[in-house]
């Protein structure tokens, strides 16, 4: 599958990007080189390769979701443009 110049121009239009003639040709060539590389990867025999979700064994580091007290509430509320009953007061956005 090859990328055409008109496809690059169309995507540039959608992204509201402007390129000169040399840049368009460069992008066409670069995108086609990427697609050629993917075609080479399609030729690889992966039948004996175990599927993985990530190349490196990683784990998420979760913490308990616990309520904690904040001792500097007044200091925090000094940054609020407006406060009411110890909370930030924000403008109503839903009618």
Largest CA distance in the chain: 66
| pLDDT computed for residue 9 by the predictor | 95
- Rounded Cα gap, residues 76 and 87, in angstroms: 10
Handedness of CA 20, 22, 28, 31 (dihedral sign): negative
Predicted confidence band of residue 51 (pLDDT cuts 50, 70, 90): confident
Cβ contact 7:32 at 8 Å: no
Per domain, the residue ranges of the chain are 5-42
CATH number of 5-42: 1.10.20
Tens digits of residue pLDDT in 8-48: 999 999 999 999 999 999 999 999 999 999 888 888 888 88
Handedness of CA 19, 21, 22, 24 (dihedral sign): positive
Q: Give the DSSP H or E segment for 76.
A: helix 73-77
């Amino acid at each position: 599958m090859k990328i055409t110049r008109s496809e690059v121009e169309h995507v540039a239009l959608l992204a509201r990007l402007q390129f000169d003639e040399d840049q368009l040709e460069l992008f066409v060539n670069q995108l086609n080189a990427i697609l050629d590389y993917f075609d080479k990867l399609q030729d690889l025999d992966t039948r004996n390769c175990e599927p993985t979700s990530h190349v490196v064994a990683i784990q998420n580091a979760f913490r308990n979701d616990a309520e904690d007290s904040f001792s500097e509430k007044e200091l925090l509320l000094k940054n609020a443009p407006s406060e009411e009953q110890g909370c930030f007061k924000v403008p109503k956005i839903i009618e």
